[in-house]
């Protein structure tokens, strides 16, 4: 079976995209989906970067262990192989589309996906901020990836 590939993109691949990857994978596991591969990458990072300590801590609050996550730099190959790409900010989308313009139909802002009334389309970077900011970021991402999981279930087999 060919798995759908979902890619989350942020800047450093140590906070937001890592949270999104862990949260969506957890949701899909709980819903019995093993037909989706969930990945994350950063537009400005280096391969092997670990998640921030704050990210590990707030994900543990949701009983999700992402401590062994290994960060990776976004590549053209990752973009080309992904079925759907979710970005945290507009400039991540721009970087992807500058590199691979034909990816446009599969690139979305995570917080705006299936959320036409979103007051905030972007998810701000929590790096260097308080634990509370990380918790709010995680909760916003959880709402967004729940919409992604719902969309996957609705379009299963397409």
pLDDT, residue 100, reads: 97
pLDDT, residue 158, reads: 67
pLDDT, residue 157, reads: 67
Which of 16, 26, 137, 138 is an active site residue? 16
- For residue 109 the two structure tokens come to 């802002």
Q: What residues of the chain score a pLDDT lower than 50?
A: none
pLDDT, residue 3, reads: 84
Which of 10, 15, 87, 137 is an active site residue? 10
By CB atoms closer than 10 A (0-12, 13-18, 19+), residue 122 is middle
Domains defined for the chain, CATH in brackets: 4-154 (3.40.50.2300)
**Residue 68 appears among annotated catalytic residues:** no
For 95-114, how does the pLDDT look when each residue is reduced to its tens digit (9 = 90+)?
A: 999 999 999 999 999 999 99
86 strand-pairing partners: 8, 108
Nearest to 140 by CA among 112, 117, 116: 112
pLDDT, residue 51, reads: 95
Which of 81, 83, 121, 125 is an active site residue? 125
pLDDT, residue 73, reads: 96
**Residue 125 appears among annotated catalytic residues:** yes
**Residue 26 appears among annotated catalytic residues:** no
Nearest to 16 by CA among 142, 138, 112, 147: 138
């Amino acid at each position: 079976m060919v798995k759908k590939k979902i890619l989350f993109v942020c800047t450093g691949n140590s906070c937001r995209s890592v949270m999104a990857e862990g949260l969506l994978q957890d949701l899909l596991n709980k819903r019995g989906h093993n037909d989706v591969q969930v990945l994350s990458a950063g537009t400005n990072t280096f391969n092997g970067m670990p998640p921030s300590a704050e990210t590990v801590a707030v994900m543990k609050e949701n009983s999700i262990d992402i401590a062994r996550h290994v960060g990776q730099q976004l590549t053209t190959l990752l973009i080309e192989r992904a079925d759907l790409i979710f970005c945290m900010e507009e400039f991540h989308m721009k970087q992807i589309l500058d590199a691979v313009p034909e990816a446009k139909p599969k690139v979305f802002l995570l917080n705006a996906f299936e959320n036409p009334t979103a007051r905030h389309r972007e998810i701000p970077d929590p790096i260097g901020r308080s634990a509370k900011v990380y918790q709010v970021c995680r909760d916003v991402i959880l709402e967004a990836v729940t919409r992604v999981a719902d969309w996957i279930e609705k379009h299963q087999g397409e």
